[in-house]
Amino acid sequence: MLISFEGIDGSGKSTQLVMLREVLEDRGLTVVVIREPGATLLSESIREILLSTKQTITPTAELLLFSAARTQLVEKVIEPALNEGSIILCDRYVDSTTAYQGFGRKLDLDSVRLCNRIATRGVMPTVTFFIDVAYEQAQQRMQFDLGVGEPDRMERSGRDFFERVRYGYLQIAVDEPERFMVIDGSRDRLEIHSDIFSTLEPLL
C-alpha cells in the first residue's frame, strides 16, 4: 500500500510520517519510507540540482526534473516494494507536482497531468494525507529549522507562490475526495496523528 504525505514546506508532514511509521512498525508491519525527490541515487542527484540556489531553472525544466526523479523512484523502489506487500510512506509524491508546478508555477494543468501519468506509471497512493496549515504558520515552524541552513531554491519562491500551492492542494481535495484527505495541521502533533491513524486503520 502506498501512502503519501503532502503539504506546503514546513507544514509538519515529515513529523507525521515518522509518527505513523512508529505505530505501523509496532504492529509488525514492514514499512518503507521514502522522500521525494530522492530515495534513489539518480533521484537524490536530481534533488540536489532542483534545490540548489546556484542556478535558475525554468518552470518546464523543473516539471521534467521532478518527474524524472519520480519515475526512477517508482520503477526502482516503489513497484518492487509494493510487489513485496510493504507499506510505503512517501514524503511527497505526485500531488506535489500538481500543486507546486501546476498551481504554484502556473504551468498548463493538462500538461502537468500528462507528465504525472507518465512519471507514476499509473501507480497512485491508496490514501494521501494533506497536512493543511496557513503560510504564516508553516513559516513559523520552519524558523526553527532555518537556523540549520539557508532556505533552498523552492523555499525562496515567496508567499504568493505558496498561497497558490495551498489552493492547488485544496483543489485536488475537491477533485479526488476519496483518496486525498485534508488534515487540519494547525493543531498539536498528537491530535493530528490520531486523526491520520483513525483514517488509516480501517484500510490496514
Contact set with ligand TYD (CB under 6 A) = 9, 14, 35-37, 51, 66, 91-92, 96-97, 100-101, 154-155
171 binds, among ligand ADP, ligand TYD, none (CB under 5 to 8 A by kind): none
Region binding ligand ADP by CB under 6 A among candidate stretches 76-84, 103-111, 119-127, 141-149: 141-149
Minimum CB distance to ligand ADP smaller for 7 or for 102: 7
**Interface with ligand ADP, residue 116, by CB under 6 A:** no
65 binds, among ligand ADP, ligand TYD, none (CB under 5 to 8 A by kind): none
Minimum CB distance to ligand ADP smaller for 115 or for 192: 192
Minimum CB distance to ligand TYD smaller for 24 or for 154: 154
3-state per-residue secondary structure call for the chain:
CEEEEECCCCCCHHHHHHHHHHHHHHCCCCEEEEECCCCCHHHHHHHHHHHCCCCCCCHHHHHHHHHHHHHHHHHHHHHHHHHCCCEEEEECCHHHHHHHHHHHCCCCHHHHHHHHHHHHCCCCCCEEEEEECCHHHHHHHHHHHHCCCCCCCCHHHCHHHHHHHHHHHHHHHHHCCCCEEEEECCCCHHHHHHHHHHHHHHHC
Rule CB under 6 A: choose which of 27, 117, 159, 189 binds ligand ADP: 189
Nearest distance from C-beta of residue 20 to ligand ADP, angstroms = 12
Do 132 and 184 contact (CB within 8 A), yes or no?
A: yes
- Residue 144 burial (CB < 10 Å; 0-12/13-18/19+)? exposed
145 binds, among ligand TYD, ligand ADP, none (CB under 5 to 8 A by kind): ligand ADP
Which among 38, 47, 43, 36 is positioned nearest to 99, based on CA atoms? 36
Nearest distance from C-beta of residue 196 to ligand TYD, angstroms = 16
**Interface with ligand ADP, residue 12, by CB under 6 A:** yes
What character string, x for contact with ligand ADP (CB under 6 A) and - otherwise, covers 144-173? xx----------------------------
Binding site for ligand ADP (CB under 6 A): 7, 9-15, 141-142, 144-145, 188-189, 192
